[in-house]
Each structure stands twice: as structure tokens, then as C-alpha cells.
Structure 1
Amino acid sequence: MTPAAAPMLEADRLALQVGERWLCCEFSLTLKGGECLVLLGPNGAGKTTLLHTLAGLREPSVGSVLLGGLPYAAWRATEAARFRGLLAQQQPDHFSSTVLETVLVGRHPYLGRWGWEGPEDERIARAALADVGLADMAGRDILTLSGGERQRVAVAALLAQAPQLLLLDEPTNHLDLHYQIAVLDLIRGLADAGRGVVMVLHDINLAARYADQIILLDGRGGVRAGARDEVLQAALLSEAFGHPLRRHVLDGRVNFIPD
């Protein structure tokens, strides 16, 4: 269904408004396979709203979004779910289930209306759990997990979905330093293998480490979109976050340190 040469994701003159407030003025972007785009900005700037718009969960106030060269309206729901997957910011668990059963939710786009997960679905789900370091927790009750363990289960469910385009809202939520890097390395590896990645991050230095492109929202409707090194400038970041930052290069890696 997707045109072979089409970018994974495109936004043309996109702008978002909530009530009387404009979250961002018009901007455009193109994301190809093999690229990672990070959304940055202060709390309340509209990063999640923008991510949901790019995921097709809400209509833009101005402009358009194309998934694989086509508007969302042109996609069948199951085909869109196979092409793009979303990691939400929160993972509500209203009922008890095992970790494996929770990860198998990611396989639903591949099942028929009355279908049931088979051995191949279980193999994929177990491989995803292994990728996030939870292979030995497949039988655990989801309600007994720590916040960080639950976040890794959510990442595993997205991996089991196997989308070409991954949209992740704060994938490092609840994770300690070791797993922050492990999960982001895993996601970057998927991009390097040809998938597209869009993710919301709060840590500027992690964005500098993993992103190819940046969208910087300032919380007042302003937006900067472009290549990582064009947008990650101390002056732009200081203005957006309301605190002076200095750019340093340590062992060849760019870091931004509060003044």
C-alpha cells in the first residue's frame, strides 16, 4: 500500500491549537527510514499532542500529516497499525495479566477478528522481552512490576507489534540510567536498521546523543525543526527552557550544562 519511495512520515505546514492557545506555529518535516526524530521542549509545550497528531490520533489545526506518503484517511486501520506503533506516556493496567499476555497485545494487528495468538506470535513476544532484559519475567503478574519494569514491558509490546515507524512518548519514563541507555540504544539500532523513529525526550543530552532531527517547542507557540546540530544550539535551548545553558564537548560528545 505504501509507495516504495515515500518517506515514513511527513508534515506539511503543520500547526496545533488547543482552545485559544497555539502550541506551535506552522512547520514542515520529512522523516525517512533510518532516521530518528526527537521532540523537545518544556513541560506543557505540546510534545505529546504533537506526537499524537503525527500518530494520526488527532487532526492538525492547520496543515497535513502523511504516513508512508498517504493521508491517514487512506489507510485501513489494521494496515496503519502494522506500519506505525505508538508507545503512550502512561500504561494503565486495570486487570491482572501476565507479562507475556501484555506483550502479546502488540500482535493484535496481525490477527483476524476471531483470531488467537499462535506459536509464532509467542516467539516474537518472547524475543521482544529478551530484547528489553525481561525474558525471565514472562509469567509474572503485570500488577507486581516496578515502574521501570512496566515501562520495559510496554517497549516490548511495541517491539512485538513490529511497526516500520515507532512513535514513543518518553520511552525512558521510570527507567534508571542503565536501562535508559539500553532502551535508547535498542531504539537507535532499529532506526539504523531502516525503521523510522519519533520520540519525546526530556533530556537534552540524550537527544543530542540519539537524534538525527529535532523539533524544539518553546511552550509559547514557537517551534524550531531541523537537523540535530542546527536546532541544538545553546541560545535556542536556553530560550525554550527558560534557563541559560552552555554547550560543551566531552570526549567527542556534545553536552549541554545548566549555567
Structure 2
Amino acid sequence: MKHPAAPLLEASHLALRVGGCRLCGDLDLCLRAGECWVLLGPNGAGKTTLLHTLAGLRAPDAGEVRLDGRPYAAWRGQQAARFRGLLAQQQPDQFASTVLETVLVGRHPHLGRWGWEGPEDERIARAALDSVGLGELAARDILSLSGGERQRVALAALLAQSPRVLLLDEPTNHLDLRYQIAVLDLIRARADSGHGVVMVLHDINLAARYADRIVLLDGRGGAQAGTRDEVLRADLLGAAFGHPLVRHEIDGRAAFLPA
């Protein structure tokens, strides 16, 4: 009898609070290879806080997060960085550097303490840049890029890191429609190739298109977690976002529009 693969990332009975406000309680999440989870909810509901908790950057108020079956306390920092990577919501650039140098930062978890990037690291970084359509900008100063280009460079750095689990906070930030779809297609392809993905999105219809499972935070301490069809319901979404929605079927896809 074949047993299912162990989860890449799990959260059990998770509870989060910020400033005395409850964001969620008793939340369970189980990310397996090949899956894409999307965190949805109104502004201030706690999506980034939840993502950072799943990344091991903050401790939950209750419950536990396990990476490949082990709590974060059992992982060395460099070891965890090889297994899971985080794309932050904002990309601060304090110093000038080339686009390629910025992407090579993603290779640091794979280097020794005194190691330098070698030809294979550069090959991986250039391939990541090519995958986001920025290969020709490798020599450009990072400070000269537009916001959308900088976002794609950040995604390339995450891809160069080569983690099994990708955690992405609003990966479509600053991107026009063409690149929103291109980036989300690329992320979905990573999941389909056996990686695990958890990402924050604001667009309900993009979540409906790319997610396998959803966590919907309502901003009042409630959370719904389940399959896309279980959670993406007009009544649940309307209650969470504070405005009634109507579900439509367009070319076999669910779409939600304001009532």
C-alpha cells in the first residue's frame, strides 16, 4: 500500500494575535507537494502575519508550525532557508547593485560560510532571470528599475534559492495584467512540478484561477480553510470582504463580481 508523501509544511491548531486583536484561532493547514494555497482576506486581516508565521519568522500565539515534519526550532537557519523561501511584500534597495548580483543573493543558503558564488550559481541565477523575462537586464543597476521590474527580480532571487516551499506575499505587486498572469503561471508551474506554494493574493478571481486550497481570513478573528470550491463561496466572501458578491461561471471558471 502506497502512503501519501509527508506534508512539506503544516500548521496545527494555530492561533495568532496582534496588538490584542485575534487574527485566527485553531487553524489547520497542510501543504503537500504539488499544491498551491492562497491566503485571502480584507486589508488588516492578518494575511502577512500568517505567512510570516508559516515562514518561521514569528512564533504563533498557540499551536505549531512544522516544516517537513519538524518544528522550526529543530532546523538550522541555513538549512531551513534551503527548504523554504519567502518573497516579501516590499523590496527595499539600500545600495546600488546589478540585477544579477541581487538575484545571486538567493544562492547564499547554498554557500559555505566563506564561500563565493561560482559558475553554477551564476547559471542558476541567469536561468531564474530568464524565467521572469529579465535576462537582458542582468547588468542593469537595481535602482534604475521600475516597481514591476523590481518585483520580478525579487521573484527571480526566490527561484534561484531553489526552495521546496515557496511563500509569497502579494507576488503580483506593481505588475500589470500581462505580468500578473505570467508570474502566476510560473508559480503555478512550480507547484505542478512538485513544489509547495503558499501565497497572499488580493484578487479573488486570480485565487479562483490558481489555488488548490484557500485560507480566508475575515478580519474579525475568523478563518475558513479548505478546498477552492469549499471556501470560494459568495456568502463567505461577501461576509469577509464586507460587500455582497455574485458568483458567475465563465468558460468553466468561477468568477466573483460585486453585487
- Fold match, TM over 0.5? yes
Gaps of 5+ in 1: none
Structure 1 outlier segments of 4+, above 6 Å? none
In 1: Cα distance, 2:57 partner to 2:5 partner: 25
Q: Report what 1:90 is aligned to.
A: 90
Q: Report what 1:54 is aligned to.
A: 54
TM-score normalized with structure 1 length: 0.98
What SS does the corresponding residue of 1:175 show, helix, strand or coil?
Answer: coil
In 2: Cα distance, 1:140 partner to 1:216 partner: 39
Between stretches 125-134 and 11-20, larger displacement belongs to 11-20
What SS does the corresponding residue of 1:16 show, helix, strand or coil?
Answer: strand
In 2: Cα distance, 1:252 partner to 1:5 partner: 31
Q: Report what 1:207 is aligned to.
A: 207
Q: How does 1:87-166 map to 2 (within 5 A)?
A: 87-166=87-166
Q: Report what 1:191 is aligned to.
A: 191
In 2: Cα distance, 1:25 partner to 1:203 partner: 24
Shift of 1:252: 0.8
Q: Report what 1:247 is aligned to.
A: 247
Residues 33-73 of structure 1: per-residue CA shift (max 9 Å, x gap) = 00000000000000000000000000000100000000001
Question: Contact (CA 8 Å) 2:83, 2:163: kept in 1 or not?
Answer: yes
What SS does the corresponding residue of 2:152 show, helix, strand or coil?
Answer: helix
Q: How does 1:224-239 map to 2 (within 5 A)?
A: 224-239=224-239
Query: Is 1:67 the equivalent of 2:67?
Result: yes
In 2: Cα distance, 1:151 partner to 1:29 partner: 27
Shift of 1:76: 1.3
What SS does the corresponding residue of 2:140 show, helix, strand or coil?
Answer: coil
What SS does the corresponding residue of 1:199 show, helix, strand or coil?
Answer: strand
The alignment yields a C-alpha RMSD, in angstroms, of 0.8
Q: How does 1:171-186 map to 2 (within 5 A)?
A: 171-186=171-186
How many aligned positions are there? 256
Question: Contact (CA 8 Å) 2:84, 2:164: kept in 1 or not?
Answer: yes
What SS does the corresponding residue of 1:26 show, helix, strand or coil?
Answer: strand
What SS does the corresponding residue of 2:37 show, helix, strand or coil?
Answer: strand
Shift of 1:19: 2.0
Gaps of 5+ in 2: none
In 2: Cα distance, 1:159 partner to 1:20 partner: 36
In 2: Cα distance, 1:28 partner to 1:221 partner: 14
In 2: Cα distance, 1:7 partner to 1:222 partner: 24
In 1: Cα distance, 2:241 partner to 2:40 partner: 10
In 1: Cα distance, 2:98 partner to 2:236 partner: 45
In 2: Cα distance, 1:47 partner to 1:29 partner: 14
What SS does the corresponding residue of 1:184 show, helix, strand or coil?
Answer: helix
Query: Is 1:41 the equivalent of 2:3?
Result: no
TM-score normalized with structure 2 length: 0.98
Question: Contact (CA 8 Å) 2:35, 2:196: kept in 1 or not?
Answer: yes
Residues 150-173 of structure 1: per-residue CA shift (max 9 Å, x gap) = 000000000000000000000000
Q: Report what 1:170 is aligned to.
A: 170
Residues 132-186 of structure 1: per-residue CA shift (max 9 Å, x gap) = 0000000000000000000000000000000000000000000000000000000
Question: Contact (CA 8 Å) 2:5, 2:32: kept in 1 or not?
Answer: no
In 1: Cα distance, 2:97 partner to 2:42 partner: 35
In 2: Cα distance, 1:144 partner to 1:11 partner: 40
Q: Report what 1:16 is aligned to.
A: 16
Shift of 1:26: 1.4
Shift of 1:5: 3.6
